[in-house]
Amino acid sequence: MNILVTGGAGFIGSHTCVALLEAGYSVIVADNLYNSSVEVLDRVKQITGKELLFYRIDVTDATAVGAVFDAHSFDGVIHFAGYKAVGESVEKPLDYYYNNTVSTMVLVSACRKHGVKRFVFSSSATVYGENRVPFIETMELRPPANPYGRTKVISEQILSDVAWTETGWAVALLRYFNPVGAHESGLIGEAPTGIPNNLMPYITQVASGRLEKLRIFGNDYPTPDGTGVRDYIHVCDLAEGHLRALEKLTPGVHIYNLGTGRGTSVLHLVKAFEEANGIKIPYEFAPRRPGDIAESYADVSKARHELGWSARRSIVDMCRDAWRFEKGRKEA
């Protein structure tokens, strides 16, 4: 089966490419390398011992996307491509609305033209807004606290509306929480350009000496230690969740939370990293970051029951694998 993976050179996309290739799928990647590099795809090939095809295109470019669809017969699409930083989305809302929603519309239009109706979408827990925890798929969505989350709501609605009005569509909307960690080989992981927006690469870059200290945004949340609580999930578990969703797709729209079902505070994650790797992480508190909420963690029972999937790796695994990857970058 030929699977188009948009954003396949990114953090989650690259790990999902590994899972797909190891499961016997043929993978075609479309990525503009905005926040990634082609070297990542070379490492995916090194890990799996298998080839993939790569198109360096922007998925908002309908002509470029159409040419890829003309060149291949796809059995399904996994759509990762998009901007993903909550804080940045508050600063650059128009960029986020354009990139994240137009790319979805371009892809869906190409799928319709070419008869491709199996679609897995990389959504986010941010769609739940400031809701009660744990978040469950059936709860009423509240307005997301940031433009990034709103782009995910819009894209989910686009896909749902198309699937409800045209027969044969099989759509999985995967609302996942906070992916961290890296492949156990240490060859691929989260390597953002510039100062990281996400917590784990910020921690690992402080540990390696790339950055002086960690800034923790907010220590006055209504949580046990005052810092934000999130559901951190190992990226390899998340990749396996995408594979299971693709394998189990049936006609209709299916929504799944992909997380561990456990909330971990920022300070708890920092301490877990220190204990797992024997490294002290200096940090300072900073004001809350616009667009953040106090708590976010999942009810994952639906994915467990319907997909036969659950996260297997621990916080310690996440911390050790993330540091192994960062050490490899430092030594390279």
Structure confidence by residue, pLDDT tens digits, 10-45: 999 999 999 999 999 999 999 999 989 999 999 999
On whether the CB atoms of residues 219 and 227 are closer than 8 A, the answer is yes
Q: How confident is the model at residue 197 (pLDDT cuts 50, 70, 90)?
A: confident
Give residue 329's pLDDT band: very low, low, confident or very high (50, 70, 90): confident
**198 within 8 A of 190, measured Cβ to Cβ:** yes
- Half-sphere exposure of residue 221: CA atoms within 13 angstroms, side-chain side: 26
Instruction: Give the pLDDT mean for 299-307.
Output: 98
| pLDDT tens digits, 56-66 | 999 999 999 99
- When the candidates are 3.90.1200.10, 3.40.50.150, 3.30.300.180, 3.40.50.720, the CATH number that belongs to 2-181+232-259 is 3.40.50.720
Is the confidence at residue 330, as pLDDT, over 70?
Answer: no
Catalytic annotation, pick one of 96, 148, 176, 221: 148
CB 163 within 8 A of CB 111: no
Mind listing the pLDDT tens digit for each residue in 82-111? 999 888 999 999 999 999 999 999 999 999
* Mean pLDDT along residues 138-163: 97
Task: Classify residue 25 by its DSSP letter.
Answer: -
148 is catalytic: yes
Q: Are the C-beta atoms of residues 2 and 75 closer than 8 Å to each other? A: yes
Give residue 306's pLDDT. Answer: 98
Per-residue confidence band for 154, with pLDDT thresholds at 50, 70 and 90: very high
pLDDT value of residue 291: 86
| Residue range 227-234: mean pLDDT, rounded | 98
